[in-house]
């Protein structure tokens, strides 16, 4: 694989965000095997091929606030897709209201190990911000562990401004909370 694999000539990751779909079944399961290989337990880690259609349906339901597990908020999951299919996922909480007191998971993402360090997560978050804008979510609060250098860079490259670090003894202790304020960022419409 060349250094530029997965990028175009300008060095930008060649990915799209797509709704979860059964058409990505093969690459999805290959990705789950890769995550398992690095000891990263994904939500669908134990899923069989037969359960896949129901899983896809569950993700669609989640975006509509249907059949939510206790404590979950409606969320929209997109799959990060490249020429080989499923390369990861990125999720946006739909009813999360970022406040200084609030700890939560407003934004989440994971890129399959074989596709990392090609700019996929950075580009995926950029594309997610476009999706957020479309539905008038203009303030996002991603968070990540302070030791997760890659994730910190992904957030900061997308305009994330560090808000604070969760104190010891609090849920998610040590996590860094960021704010991405889309009101403060130029859009194509401003050009
Ligand atoms: C965090 C994660 C999503 C990053 O995905 P990715 O597609 O490799 O990220 P990018 O290629 O856009 O890289 C972003 C920056 O992080 C750097 N980076 C990526 N992996 C890195 C690593 N393991 N160590 C140090 N830096 C790393 C990249 O070089 C890039 O920096 P640069 O622009 O200065 O070169 C991926 O590592 C992952 O899925 N990890 C497991 C799940 C996870 O931690 N999710 C985030 C939870 S908050």
Q: Is 8 part of any domain? A: no
At residue 124, the pLDDT reads 98
pLDDT at position 11 over 80: no
CA distances from 187 to 128, 142, 183, 184 (A): 13, 20, 9, 9
Distance 95 CA to ligand 1 centre (A): 27
Q: Which of 38-52, 61-75, 136-150, 175-189 has the weakest average pLDDT? A: 175-189
pLDDT in tens, 74-112: 999 999 999 999 999 999 999 877 666 665 668 999 999
Q: Is 10 part of any domain? A: no
Mean pLDDT of 30-46: 86
Evaluated on CA atoms 138, 144, 147, 151, the torsion sign reads: negative
CATH number where 83 lies = 3.40.630.30
Ligand 1 site: residues with CB under 6 angstroms? 40, 109-111, 116-122, 144, 148-151, 153-154
At residue 6, the pLDDT reads 77
Q: Is 11 part of any domain? A: no
> Which numbered atom of ligand 1 lies nearest the CA of 118?
11
Mean pLDDT of 153-178: 86
- For the chain, what is the domain count? 1
Reference 117, options 77, 88, 86; nearest CA is 88
Reference 16, options 83, 76, 106; nearest CA is 83
Q: Is 172 part of any domain? A: yes
Q: Which two tokens stand for residue 149?
A: 């250098």
d(CA 148, CA 68): 29
Task: State pTM to two decimals.
Answer: 0.91
Range(s) of the domain holding residue 177: 16-185
């Amino acid at each position: 694989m060349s250094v530029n694999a997965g990028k175009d000539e300008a060095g930008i990751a060649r990915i799209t965000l797509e709704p979860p779909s059964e058409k990505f079944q093969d690459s999805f399961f290959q990705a789950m095997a890769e995550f398992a290989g690095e000891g990263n337990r994904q939500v669908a880690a134990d899923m069989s091929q037969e359960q896949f259609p129901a899983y896809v349906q569950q993700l669609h339901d989640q975006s509509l606030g249907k059949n939510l597990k206790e404590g979950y908020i409606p969320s929209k999951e997109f799959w990060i897709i490249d020429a080989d299919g499923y390369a990861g996922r990125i999720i946006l909480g739909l009813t999360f209201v970022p406040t200084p007191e609030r700890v939560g998971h407003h934004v989440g993402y994971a890129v399959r190990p074989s596709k990392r360090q090609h700019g996929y997560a950075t580009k995926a978050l950029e594309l997610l911000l476009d999706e957020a804008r479309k539905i008038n979510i203009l303030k996002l609060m991603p968070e990540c562990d302070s030791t997760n250098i890659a994730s910190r860079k992904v957030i900061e490259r997308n305009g994330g401004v560090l808000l604070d670090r969760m104190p010891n003894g609090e849920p998610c202790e040590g996590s860094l909370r960021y704010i991405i304020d889309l009101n403060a960022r130029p859009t194509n419409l401003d050009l």
